[in-house]
Structure formats: structure tokens, C-alpha cells
Structure 1
Amino acid sequence: MDYSYFSGLIQNVALLLVFSFLYATRWINSTYSKKLWPNVFAGIIVGGIGILLMFTPWTYQPGHYFDLRTILLAIAGLYLGAIPTIIAIVITATYRLFLGGNFVLVGVCLIVISGLTGIAWRYFQQKKGGKNSILSLYFFGLIVHIFMLLLPIVLPSEGSVAMVKFMAVPILVIYPVITVLLGVLMNRQLEIWRNRKAKDRLFESEQRFTQMMLDINMVFINLDKDRKIIFCNKYLLDITGYTQEELVGKRSIDIFVPQEEREITEQGLNELFDNNRNLHRFESKILTKNNRELYISWYNSVVFDDYGKIAGIASLGENITEKKATFDSLREAKKKAEESNRLKSVFLQNISHEIRTPLNAIMGAISLLKLPSADQQMREKYYEVLRISGARLLATVNDLIDISQVETQQIKVNKSKFSLSKVLTNHVNVAGPIAEKKANKIICTSKYLQSNTFLYTDRNMLNSIFINLISNANKFTSNGTIEIGSYDEHGDIVFYVKDNGIGIPENRLEVIFDRFVQADSSLSRSHEGSGLGLSIALAYAEMLGGSIWVESEEGKGSTFYFNIPKDEVYLSETDTDQEESDAKLLPDQKILIAEDDKLNYLILKKIVENIGISEILHAVNGAEAVEMVKNNPDISLVLMDIKMPEMSGEEATLKIKEFNQALPIIAQTAFAMPGDRERYLEMGFSDYIPKPIDKNALIKLLQKYLNSSYQDVTGQ
């Protein structure tokens, strides 16, 4: 057998295999990249292989030589693309021109057509999304080599027809088959490369995913089928305080889930595994190493192995502990705000009732007093209605002013030294007659009732606390006993007001001191009063350094307690709180009343006349008051209203003090806010009395500054 027949063919095939090897190891990346130089280098190598093919032709028959350069260039165009193939065409065509000889033009054209056909076939395959299948490769190889046979006919030369007849069979039979085989090999290499690239991308993706899960500020944890932890990220370790060694291989339920929730958590995981489904979101608690509770919003997915079986669960969780706390706080604040608005509406309704009710009684009594048919007995009843309704209206206004001062923190503690015994005695004496109207009895069991003990605190605030507590006890008690008592405890004096009235429901004990809340209770709605007394009492007790609390049983009564620091208690053998001895007023005193309101002037005038003063001057504004004092140097005292037309009482007082420093001037005004008394005294007023005017308080002031005894001719 003549082996030389096959040696050229084998060498040509070997060079094509070298081409495919270089394609698989070096050029695939280049053809799918936009870099120029790797493609240029590939084209040079392919051109070199083409020259080698021409160096080692296949001897089909003596004198007839073939090589596989057309297959090389066609496959290069199909798999390498335009740049490497064109460079290879240029190199091999140049070399063919250099060789010269017969059919040189045909050889060059054959090189160009083979490469360009490969490039065109690649373009149309990519455009249509087709693949280089075996059939496609065969037709491709057949077309390329049909062109190879047609060229000698298109470009005829001596012997070209005979050559075509001679080489038609091997070219049309062998060349397409070799093209298919080389193409299949190239396909396989391309598939291997793509698979390797996909694995590399998958590996890189897994690496990035793993790193992201390690670094992300969210909880990430993997569990196997036995609920054991096989992976967890750094964030989970940071927020729980565990180490990786303490978690991996341990059951997550035993470590993180609170005892009371483990059963339901186990059921949830079983459902995930049994039903082969994802639970995209749910919230649960986990425990840290020091048993602190964290709230996590979970996104869970079932993980499968290579055989499609469930391998475990991957869980991604957001730590919503702070977000949940904030949301809960906002929800609670919203709830409180809504409740506050509702209670304020009820409060305003209650206050409206408390103001309108006595006003209605006052206006009705006044209209009835005008009736000619009203006899003296009926008039006395109407006068009593006026007195009670006025007192009720004044109490409501005072409560509103007091709570407003507390809310705006305008009120201040003004401490003074006073007899505790006298305070207790006064409250028993004042509350006694009021309590008798409901068949109640007031008793005082405090040891300080008979002791010579003095307190150094705010007397008005202490009195207000007692008044509110005693009034409250009397309001909700009938035919009972109200006890005022005290005991010493932990350096404090604890006072209490105890009654055996209707008591307070247990569910109301914690809210009765709240502002506005008490106005909504059924007790407040069914009994008169603003419902602010306990709120005011609590505020005053705290300002005095103590507190206030209650013990009560519904149907049996209530006991209200409040404490005063005992370090403000003094013992003395002499009573420094004695009332000044009464002195009789001289009837020849002259008093100026500066008041622009006629009704107020008439009331003041009547009080002054009832204590024996007959000479009373009246000024309707500050300027007139100044002139009257100048023209009447024998005026003994001025009752000066503050708010008057033309000239205010403040300006008038300053002008009077310029020429008469010794004249007593008492401010009488509806301005009764904290600090008003001190401000008026600093301005030059001798004293201050707020409106509505208390008759007895005014008489004491007149007695003080006129320095004479008096006798209330009304007998009151």
C-alpha cells in the first residue's frame, strides 16, 4: 500500500486539529471579547497554519495535489469571526501569490471566497439564532467547495476543465465530510467552553452571594432537614452574641426560639418540608445569648439537592426590633392622643355644664326677684340660690385657673410658717356645716389637731389639697362619716381623708388622678363639679415634695392619702400664727373706691357701709382717682381697680405715690394669676385682693390698714 497517498491527508488533518486545539485553548475567549490584539494574533496563527497546509499537500494522484486550506478558512470565518479570518485570508493569499504557478488567480480567489463565506454564514446564523448543526455544517461545506469547483470555470485557463472533472468527486465527497467533522469538534469545544464559563460564573456568583450574605446587615441562616444550622452570617452572630462554633450543628429551635413558641415553630417548619413550599414572609421572636428578645421578619425558601429532594431551608431575616418598638410607640401615642382628644371633648362638655348650670340658676333667680309677687320668704330662697350658684360657678372657675397654672407650670411654691392645728381646725369647722346637709359627720383624729406644731410649706396649696379631698369625700358619701387623720412614716407626715361612701371601681383607681379622664367617669357625670379636683390635689402634693394615693373598695368607701416632708415641721411653745385682735372702725373714715364697673362699685360700697364707714368717694377711672386724692387729703384708704379707662389703676397708683407715699392703696382686680400679688406689691400697692371679692377678706384688710376695731352690722 502506498502510504504516501495518506500522509499528506493526515498531515493536513493534523494541522486542522491543531487549529481546533488552539481555538479551544486560546481563541474562544478572544472571539467573544472586544479586544483587538488577541484577534489579530489568532488571525496570524491561522494564516500560518494555512501556509503549512500548502507546504504539505495531499497527493491525490501523481501530479495532482490538494490541501485543506479552504476548510481551514471557512471554519475560521464560521467560528473565529471577521478580524482573525480576514488577517488569515491576507496572509495565505499573499503566500499563494508568492508561490505563483498555474491557477494562481483561482487559488487566491478560492482563499478569499472560503473565508468570506465562513464569515457570512456566521453572521446569518447569529442573526437567525441558529446553531451549527451537522446538517448545517454539511451544507456549509458543500457550498464552499461548490464555489471551489466553479472558480476554474469562471476563471478559465489551460486544463481547468479537466482539473475540475478530475477533482470534483473528492472535493464534493471528502471535503464536506471533513468540514462537518471539524465543525462538530469545534461545536464540542465551544460547548465545553460555555459550560466551563457557566460554572465559573456560577462559582463567582456563589462566591459573591456567600460574601454578600456574610457582610449584609440582615440575618442569613441555612438549616438542614434536621433543623440544624449549617451556615450563618456574621450579622446574626453580632446581634445574638453567639460564636459560629456555638451554632453550627445545633438545632436552631433549641437555641433561638422562646420555650413557649417552640411547638408552633416546629409545626411551621414541618409544613414547609411536607408541603414543599416557600413561606415568603412571617415575623417571629428570637433569643440572644443573654435572653434578650429580638423581632425578625423572615423570608424563607426551601433548598433542593442535585436529585430534586428537599435538603433544607435558607432564611433571610430583617431585624425589625427597633422598627417594631417605634411602631408600637407611635401606635400607643396615637391611641393616647385619640383618647386625650375624646376626653378633652367630654371635659369641655362637663365644664360647659358646670358653668351654664349655675349661670342659669343665677339668671333665673334674678328674674324671679323682680316679680312683685315675691315676698320676703321667697326672696330669701332666691338669695340662697344666688349664693350657692355663685359659689359653684366660682369653684369651677378656680379649678380651671388652677389646672391651667399647673399645666403651664406658672404656679410656684410660696412657703410660710403656720399652725398645723389651726389649718385642721379650720377645715373641720368649715366642712362640718356643709357635710351636715348630706347627714355626714366630719371628725379629725390627727394628733396634730391639739399640738402646737407648725409647718413651713405653701399654705394655700395644702388648703387646696384638703378642700378637694374633703369635698370629694362629702360628694360621694351620704349618712356617713368623713375622717381627717394622719400618721408619721419614713420622715413624712401622711394625712388621709377617709369616707364610707360609694367607693371607686377597681378599674378606675389608676386613672382618677389623670387630667380630663375623671370628667369621663360615670361618677363625675352624675355628680356636680369640674372633675379636676384630684388632678389639682396630685399636682400640689408633688410640688410640696410628696405624693397622693388612694385605697378604695366599691360600696365600702375610699381613703385618700398624701404626705408632707416632716423636715418642714416645727414645734413651738408660742403661737406665732395668732389672729390680730379685732379693733373697732371709726365711722369718720373716708375711703375712695376707684371702680369703673357700676355693679362692682355698689357691692364694694355696701360692704364698706356695713362696717360703719359712711363717707365713700367714687372714681370711674384712674385719672379721676388721682385728682380726688389730690383734692381730698383726708382720704384714709383707696380701693383701686386695675383695669379702668383713660388711666389704669397701676398708672394712677404710681402718680399718687409721687405726692402721697403713706396712703394705703389696695389693688382689687380680676387678675389673679401666680405672681400677680408680688408684682402689685413691688409696684407700690399696699396690698392685693382678687375678684370676686370675699367680704370677710376685704373687712380684714380694711381693719388692718385703718387700724381700728370693727363690728359687722350684718351679724355675719
Structure 2
Amino acid sequence: MDYSYFSGLIQNVALLLVFSFLYATRWIDSTHSKKLWPNIFAGFIVGGIGILLMFTPWTYQPGHYFDLRTILLAISGLYLGAIPTIIAIIITVAYRMFLGGDNVFLGVCLVLISGLTGIAWRKLQQRRGGKNNILSLYVLGVIVHVFMLLLPIIFPREGSDTLVKFMAIPILTIYPVITVLLGHLMNAQLENWRNRKAKERLYESEQRFTKMMLDINMIFINIDINSKIIFCNEYLLSITGYTEEELIGKNSVDIFVPVDEKENTEKGLRELFEKNRDLHHFESKILTKDNRELYVSWYNSVITDDYGKIKGIASLGENITEKKATLENLKETKEKAEESNRLKSVFLQNVSHEIRTPINAIMGAISLLKESSVGKEMREKYYEVLRLSGNRLLSTVNDLIDISQVETQQIKVNKSDFNLSEVLTNHVNVATPIAGKKNNKIICTSKYLHTNTILHTDKNMLNGIIINLMSNANKFTTDGIIEMGSFDEHGNIVFYIKDNGIGIPENRLDVIFDRFVQADSSLSRPHEGSGLGLSIAKAYAEMLGGNIWVESEEGKGSTFFFSIPKDEVKHTIPNEGKVENKIAPLPNHKILIAEDDKLNYLILKKIVENMGITNILHAQNGVEAVEMVKNDPEISLVLMDIKMPEMSGEEATQKIRIFNSTIPIIAQTAFAMPADRNKFIEIGCSDYIPKPIDKDDLTKLLHKHLNSTQ
């Protein structure tokens, strides 16, 4: 056998194999990218291979040479695309023209046709979405080489018919087959490249996913069908306090699930693994290493093998502990706000009732007193109604003012030394006749009742606490005993007010000291009052450095306790022979009453007249008051209303002090805040009395200042 016949063919095939190898290792990436230089480089290499093919032709018969450049350029156009193939065509055409010969034109046309046909076939396949299968490759090979046979016919020369007959068999048999084989090899290379790229993308995706799961601020955990942990991320370790060695391979239920939830969790996992029950999303608690509970919102995905059998679960969890606590706090705050609004509504209804009721009694009594048929006995009863209703109205207003002062922090602790025994005695004496109206008995068992103990604290606040607690006890007790006592404990004096009244329901014990709250907050309650007394007492006790609490049993009575520090208590010898000064009449004085309200003026005038003072002047505004004091040096004292038309009492006092620095000026006003007294003293007033004016308090003030001027 003449092996030289096949040597050129083998060499050409080898070069085509080199082409396919270069395609697999160098050009696949570049031909699937938009980069220009790799494609240009590929075109030069393909052109070089085309030159080598022509340099080592296949000797079909002596004098007749063939090469496989048509297959090279067609496959290049199909797999590499336009840019590399056009560059290869240019290089191959240039070399063919360099070789010269009788068939240069045919050779150039053959190169152009095969390369451009490959490019066109690529575009057609891409448009159709088809693959380069064996049939498609064979058709491409036939088309290219049919053109190869037609060229001598289209451009005839001497011997063209003989050439076509001579070329037809190898061109139409061997060339399409080699085209198919080379295309099939290129397909295999392309498929391998695609598989490799898919693996690379999968690996990169797995790496990104793994890194994301490791770094994400969410829990990521995988467990197998035995609930054993096979993977967990750093975030789970950080929030639970475990290490990876302590978790991997361990039962997740035993480690993370609280005891009271283990049975349900294990049951749910069994149902999931056995019945594929949907557990895509749920919330649960997990335990940390130090036994803290965390709330987690889980998103689960079942892991299966190639046969669909469940192998485990991949779970992504959000730590919602803080979010849940916030929601619970918001819920609790909302409920408290709703309850507060309800209580405020009840409180406003209560206050409205407490204001309207005495006003109604006052207006009714006044209306009845105007009737001429009213006898002396009934008139006295109406007067008592006016007095009691006025006191009740004043008590409500005072409570509102006190709680307002507490809430706005306008009230300040003003400590002084006073005899504790006198305070306790006074409360017993004042409370006894009030309690007697309900057939209650007041007793005091405190050891300080009979000692000469000097207490250093705010006397007014202490009185306020006791008054509110005594009033509260008397309000809810009938035919009973109210005991006021004390004992020493941990450096404090603990006072208590004990009654055997109706008691307080257990579910109201925690709220009765709150503002706007009463033990019975219904509109049908039988007891009057604003419901502020206990909250005022609590505020005062805390401001004095103590505390207040209650013990009660419904139907059996209550005991209210409050403590104040004892570290500033001292004992002194009582003043012997102390005699109360009687308030004597004050004749021979001239009083100026500066008051724009006529009714208030008449009341003040009557109080002053009852002291034996008949020389009384009246100024209806500040301007008149200033002029009267300036023009009448015999005026002994001025009762100065603060709020008046034309000129206020403040301005009038300041103007009077310019020319008279000694005359006593007593501010009488409805401004009753703690800071008001200091304010009026600073502008020049000698003293201060709030409205509504107490007759006894005013009498004492007049004696104090008029006696000092005699």
C-alpha cells in the first residue's frame, strides 16, 4: 500500500485536530465574550493553520493536490464567528495569491465561499435556535463543497470538465465526512466547555452561598433526618455561645429546644420526615448555652436526594427576640394607654360630678333662702348645706391643684422643726367629730402622741398624707374604728391608718395609688371624692424620702402604711405653761380693701367688721388703691387683690412701696401655687392669703400685722 497517498491527508487532519485543540483550550472563552483582541489573535492562528494546510497538501493523484482549508474555514465560521474567520480568510487569500498558479482565482473564491458560508450557517443556526448536530454539519459540508465543484463550471477553463469529474468523488464523499467529524469534535469540546463553566458557576454559587450563610446576620443550620446538626453558621454560634465543635453531630432538639416544647418539636419533625408535612415558616424559642431564651422566625427548606427522598432540612432563622419584646412592650403600652384613657374619662366624669354636685346644692340652697316663707330652722339647715357643699367643692379644687403641682414639679419640700405630738393630737381632734357622723371612733396608738419629739420634715406634706389617709378610711368605714399608729423600722418612722371598713378588692391593690384611679371606678360607686387623695399621699411620701403601701382584705378593712426618715428626729423638753393667745378685737384701725369683685368685697368687709374695725375703705382697682394710700396716711393695712382691672395688685404694690415702705400689704388672690407666695413677697407684699379666704386665717393675719404697728 502506498502510504504516501494518505500522508498529506493525515497531515491535514492533524492540523484540523490542532485547530480543535486550540479551540478547546484558548478560543472558546474569547468567542463567547465581547473582547476584540482574543478574537483577532484567534483569526491569525486560524489563518496560520490554513497556510500550513496549503503547505502540506494531500496528493490525490500525481499532479492533483487537495487540502482541507475549506473545512477549516467553514468550521471556523460556524464555531468561532465572524471576526476570527474573516481575519483567517484574509490571511489565507493572501497566501494563496502569493503561491500563484493557474487556479489562483478559483482558490481565492473557494476560501471566500467556505468561510462566509460557515459564518452564514452560524447566523442561521442561532436564529433558528438549532444545534450543530450531525445532519446539520453534513449539510454544511455538502453545501460548501458543492460550491467547490461548481466554481470550475461557473468559471470554465480548459480541462474544467475533467477536473470536476476528477474532484467529485473525494469532494462529495470524504470532505463532508471530515466536516462532520471535525464538527462533532468541536461539539464535544463545546459541551465540555459548557459543563466546565456550569461547574465553575455552580462552585462559585456554592462559595457565594456558603460565604453569605456564614456571614449573614441570620441563623443558618442544616440538620439530617435524625435531627443532628451537619452545618451551622457563625451567627448562630455568636448568639447562642456554643462553638462549632459543640454543635456539629449533636441532636439539635436536645441542645436548642426548651423542655416544655421538645415533645411537640420532635413530633413535628417526624411528621415532616415521614409525611413531608409543610413546615415552611414558623416561630419558636431556642435556648442559648447560658439557658437564655431567644425567639426565632424560621424559614425551612427540605433537602432531598436524586430519588426525592428527604435527607434533612435547611433552615434560615431570624432572631426576633428584640423585635418580639418591642412588640410586647408596644402592646402593653397600648393597653396601658387605652386603660389610661378610660380611667381619665372616668376621672373627668368623677371630677365633673364632684364639682357639679356641690354647686347644684349651693345654687339650690341660695334659691330656697330667697323665699320669704323659709323659717329660721330651715334657714340654718340651708346655711349648713352651703357650708358643707362649699367645703366639698374646695376639697376637690385643692386636690386638683395639689396633683397639678406634683405633676408639674412645682411643689418643693420645705423642711422645718415641729412637735410631732402636737400634729398627731391635732389630727385626732379634727377627725373625731367628722368620724362621729358615721358612728366611727378615732384612736391613736402611736408612742409619739405622748412624747416631746421634734421632727424635721415638711409639716404640710406630712399633714397632707395623714389627712388624705384618714379621710379615705372614714369614707369607707361605718360603725367602725379608725386607728392611727406608728412603729420604727430600719431608720424610718412608719405611720399607719387602719380601718375595719369595706376593704379593697385584690385586683385593685396595685393601682389605687395611680392617678385617676379608685378602687371602685364605676359611675355607680356610693362614695364621693375625686380619686386623687391616695396618689397625692404617695407623691408626698416619696418626696419626703419614704414610701407608701397598703394591706387589705375585702370585707374586713384596710391598713395604709407610709414611712419617712427618722434620722433627723430629736427629743426636746416641752415648753411649760404655754398659753394660747386669744384673738381680741382691733378697733381704731383703718383698713383698705382693694377688690374689684363686689361679693368678695362684702365678705371681706364683714370679716373685718367682726373684728371691731369699722373704718373700712374700698378700691375697685389698683389705680384707686395707690391714690388712696398716697392721700390717706391713716390707713393701717391694705388687703390687696392681685388680679384687678386697669392696674393689677402686683403693680399697685410696687408703686405703693416707692413712697410707703412700712404699711402692711396682704395679697389675697386665687393664685394658689407654692411659688406664688414667694413671688408676692418679693414684689413688696407683707403676707399672702389664698382664696377662698378662711375667716380664721385672715383674722390671725390682721392681728399679726396690726398688733405689730400699734
Q: Hey, what does 1:501 align to over in structure 2?
A: 501
Are 1:676 and 2:676 an aligned pair?
A: yes
Q: Pairwise mapping of residues 231-250 of structure 1 onto structure 2 (< 5 A)? A: 231-250=231-250
Greater shift after overlay, 117-126 or 272-281? 272-281
Partner SS state of residue 501, structure 1:
coil
What is the DSSP-based 3-state SS (H/G/I as helix, E as strand, rest coil) of the residue aligned with 1:327? helix
Q: Partner residue of 2:209?
A: 209
**1:413 alignment partner AA:** V
> Following superposition, which runs of at least 4 residues in structure 1 exceed 6 angstroms of deviation?
none
Describe the SS at the equivalent of 1:400: helix
Deviation, structure 1 residue 307: 4.5
Counterpart amino acid of 1:61?
Q
2:576, 2:540 → 1: CA distance? 25
Deviations 1:55-84 (A, max 9, x none): 333333343332222111111111111122
Does 2:408 correspond to 1:396? no
> Is contact 2:504-2:519 (8 Å) kept?
no
- Cα drift, residue 112 of structure 1: 1.0
Q: Which residue of 1 aligns with 2:322?
A: 322
Query: For residues 277 and 107 of structure 2, what CA distance do their matches in structure 1 show?
Result: 67
How far is 1:547 from its partner? 0.9
2:498 aligned with 1:478, yes or no? no
Q: Secondary structure at the match of 2:563?
A: strand
Matches within 5 A, 1:19-418: 19-276=19-276, 279-418=279-418
What is the match of residue 435 of structure 1? 435
Kindly report the root-mean-square deviation, in angstroms, between the aligned alpha carbons of the 2 structures.
2.0
Aligned residues: 708
CA separation of 1:576 and 1:534: change in aligned 2, threshold 3 A: farther
- Cα separation, 2, equivalents of 1:186 and 1:395: 105
Superposed CA offset, 1:340-388 (max 9, x none):
2222122111111111111111111111111111111111111111111
Could you tell me which residue of structure 2 aligns to residue 711 of structure 1?
Answer: none
Shift of residue 267, structure 1, vs aligned partner: 2.5
Work out the CA distance in 2 between the residues paired with 1:523 and 1:442: 30
Per the alignment, residue 562 of structure 1 pairs with 562
The letter for the 1-side match of 2:444 is C
Distance 2:108 2:412 in 1: 113
* Secondary structure of 2:211 counterpart: helix
CA distance in 2, matches of 1:223, 1:250: 9
Structure 1 stretch displaced more, 629-638 or 137-146: 629-638
How far is 1:166 from its partner? 2.2
The alpha-carbon distance between structure 1 residues 28 and 378, as it changes in their structure 2 partners (threshold 3 A), is same
Seen in structure 2, the aligned counterparts of structure 1 residues 102 and 340 have a Cα distance that, compared at 3 Å, is same
Assess if the C-alpha contact under 8 Å between 2:505 and 2:519 holds in 1: no
- Residue 578 of structure 1 deviates from its aligned partner by 5.6
* Counterparts of 1:359 and 1:7, CA distance in 2: 131
Letter of the structure 2 residue corresponding to residue 425 of structure 1: T
| The 10-residue stretch of structure 1 (11-20 or 380-389) with the greater mean CA deviation from structure 2 | 11-20
Q: SS state of the match for residue 373, structure 1?
A: coil
Q: Distance in 2 between matches of 1:16 and 1:227?
A: 58
Q: 1:714 is matched with which residue?
A: none
Matched, 1:598 2:598: yes
1:514 maps to what in 2? Answer: 514
CA offset digits 1:570-616 (Å, max 9, x no partner) = 21112399675225224333322221111111111112222322222
Residues 148 and 680 of structure 1: is their aligned pair in 2 closer, same or farther, counting only changes over 3 Å? Answer: same
Aligned with 1:487: secondary structure? strand
- 2 CA distance for matches of 1:127 and 1:483? 105
Does the 8 Å CA contact 1:81/1:122 hold for their aligned counterparts?
yes
For the Cα contact (< 8 Å) 1:343–1:519, is it kept in 2? Answer: no
Q: CA deviation digits over 1:231-285, x for unaligned, max 9?
A: 2222222222222112211122222222222222223333332343663332222
Sequence identity (%): 79
Which residue number corresponds to residue 608 of structure 1? 608
Name the amino acid aligned to 1:228: K
Amino acid at match of 1:385: V
Aligned to 1:515, the other structure's residue is in SS state coil
Distance 1:676 1:694 in 2: 18
The equivalent residue for 1:571 is 571
Deviation of 1:426 after TM superposition, in Å, equals 1.2
Counterpart CA distance in 1 for 2:667 and 2:506 is 48
Shift of residue 659, structure 1, vs aligned partner: 3.7
Deviation at 1:623, TM superposition (A): 2.5
Partners of 2:676 and 2:584 lie apart in 1 by 31
Secondary structure of the residue that 1:295 maps to in structure 2?
strand
For residues 672 and 391 of structure 2, the distance between their equivalents in structure 1, rounded to whole angstroms, comes to 17
Change (3 A) 1:87 1:633: closer
Hey, what's the Cα distance between the residues in 2 that align with 1:579 and 1:676?
33
Residues 467-504 of structure 1, C-alpha deviation per residue, up to 9 Å, x if partnerless?
11111111111111111111111111111111100000
Question: Who is 1:582 aligned against?
Answer: 582
Question: Aligned partners of 1:389, 1:577: CA distance in 2, in Å?
Answer: 39
Deviation at 1:322, TM superposition (A): 2.3
1:437-476 superposed matches below 5 A = 437-476=437-476
Instruction: Report Cα offsets for 1:531-576 as digits up to 9, x if no partner.
Output: 0000000001111111110000000000001111112322111239
Q: Is the 8 A contact 1:350 1:519 kept in 2?
A: no
SS of aligned partner of 1:675: helix
Distance in 1 (CA, whole Å) between partners of 2:372 and 2:560 is 50
Q: Using structure 2 for the length normalisation, give the TM-score.
A: 0.96
**CA offsets, 1:196-221, max 9 Å, x none?**
11101111111121112222222222
> What one-letter code is carried by the residue in structure 2 that aligns with 1:242?
Y
> Using a 3 Å threshold, how does the CA distance of structure 1 residues 694 and 6 change in structure 2: closer, same or farther?
same
**Aligned partners of 2:595 and 2:640 also within 8 Å:** yes
What is the identity, as a one-letter code, of the residue corresponding to 1:80? L
1:143 & 1:611 partners in 2: Cα distance?
139
Residue 136 of structure 1, CA deviation: 1.0
Task: Describe the SS at the equivalent of 1:666.
Answer: strand
Distance in structure 2 (CA, Å) of the matches to 1:52 and 1:286: 73
The one-letter amino acid paired with 2:335 is: K
1:20, distance to aligned residue in structure 2 (A)? 1.4
- Calculate the TM-score normalised by the size of structure 1: 0.95
SS in 2 for 1:526: coil
Q: Distance in 2 between matches of 1:567 and 1:4?
A: 127
Matched, 1:648 2:668: no
Cα distance, 1:216–1:578 mapped onto 2, change above 3 Å = farther
Going from structure 1 to structure 2, the CA distance change for 1:681 and 1:44 (only over 3 Å counts) comes to closer
Rounded to whole Å, the distance in 2 between the matches of 1:672 and 1:578 is 33
Unaligned runs of 5+ in 2: none
User: Which residue does 1:551 correspond to in 2?
Assistant: 551
Q: Does 31-40 or 535-544 show the bigger shift? A: 31-40
Q: Is the partner of 1:707 in helix, strand or coil?
A: helix
Q: Cα deviations across residues 617-638 of structure 1 (Å, max 9, x unaligned)?
A: 2222223223333443333322
8 A Cα contact 2:350 2:523, kept in partner: no
Change in 2 beyond 3 A, CA 1:95/1:652: closer
More displaced, 65-74 or 583-592?
583-592
My pick for the range that moved more, 42-51 or 276-285, is: 276-285
1:18 aligns with 2:21: no
Letter in 1 for 2:68: L
Aligned residue in 1 for 2:424? 424
CA distance in 1, matches of 2:119, 2:676: 104
The worse-fitting range, judged by mean Cα deviation, of 653-662 and 258-267 is 653-662
Q: Which moved more, 1:194-203 or 1:127-136?
A: 127-136
Distance in 1 separating the partners of 2:532 and 2:48: 107
